[in-house]
Every structure is written in C-alpha cells, then in structure tokens.
Amino acid sequence: MKMALIFVLILIQSLSVTNAGEAITKMTYLGTNKKTILNPEAAKDHQFEIEVFNLDELSNIEAKVTNNLPKDPVEAERIADERMGSLDKSKAMKLFKGVVLLIEWDIKKLPAFVFGEGQYVIYGVTDTATAINRFVNSRKR
C-alpha cells in the first residue's frame, strides 16, 4: 500500500498541463466493464493519441485472485499470494494511473472522454468518433 501511495504521488507530480493555444492531440477514455470504448481506432484517424482505462479493473483483479479459494485460510492465503505474484505489474500501474487521472481531472461520471490534460470532457459517450466530433465541434464555436 505504501508503494502504491508513493507511485500515485509521483504520478500526480508528473502530469503535465497543456499550454493555452497548444494543439490538443491527446485523449483519454475512462470507462468501466459495462461502458467499454467503441471504435478506438478513430483516434488515430483524427491524429489523436489515446489512452484507455477500465476503472473496474481493480474489481476484475480481485475476482481473479479470490476465485475458488479453498476454505482453509492458510491454503487460501498461499494461493491468493501466488495469484497476486503472477499479475502483470504494468497493468496494476496503469490501474493506479487511471484512478489518479479520475481524481486529478475531477471526473463526475463514467464513461468519459478527456481531451488534453483534463481541459475538455465529453461524458456519457463510448464511441470514439462521436466524442471526437463533439470535441471538434465545441472548439469551432
């Protein structure tokens, strides 16, 4: 837990802010198991770099680790530890980053497409092309 907190603090410090007037080329999708991203390749078609986060991933990991554990607590702990050890560390780090961004950008609900470093948010959309069109149209006003 202490390492996770340190990682979160370092990650918050490393988040950069886009300067005013600078072209926005980054977008982030924050979703859930039930609100998965559609058409993510549309980001490349519009020259956006995209990063996708499933904020239910912690629950998914917990379910995998605790699935069908024996009733014996010692054996259950051994198996759970073994399963935790085999988890993809980069996936765990990405999970923390998604949570940090959710807090940093003060995201109110999911799903959300975030453009830039939190300057523009499109809520309730899962289709990438739709989100990009809404973002582009809002910038024309």
- For residue 52, give its domain range: 2-140
Q: Which residues, in sequence order, are bridge partners of residue 35?
A: none
φ and ψ of 15, to 5 deg:
-65, 125
Cβ-contact 84, 103 below 8 angstroms: no
Q: Mind giving me the DSSP string for 79-103?
A: HHHHHHHTS-HHHHHHHHHHHHHHH
Structure tokens of 33?
């198991």
| CATH code, 80 | 3.40.30
Q: Check residue 20 and give its pLDDT.
A: 52
For helices 89-104 and 57-66, the axis angle rounded to 10 degrees is 140
Q: Check residue 106 and give its pLDDT.
A: 96
Q: Check residue 1 and give its pLDDT.
A: 52
Cβ atoms within 10 Å of 95's Cβ, excluding its own: 19
CA distance 78 to 130: 47
Place of tokens 């996770």: 4
Residue type at 18 in one-letter notation: T
Q: Check residue 141 and give its pLDDT.
A: 66
**pTM of the full predicted structure?**
0.75
Q: Check residue 4 and give its pLDDT.
A: 52
For each of the chain's 141 residues, which pLDDT tens digit applies?
Answer: 555 544 444 444 444 444 455 789 999 999 999 999 999 999 999 999 999 999 998 888 888 888 998 899 898 889 888 888 877 778 778 888 999 999 999 999 999 999 999 999 999 999 999 999 999 998 876
Please state the domain count of the chain: 1
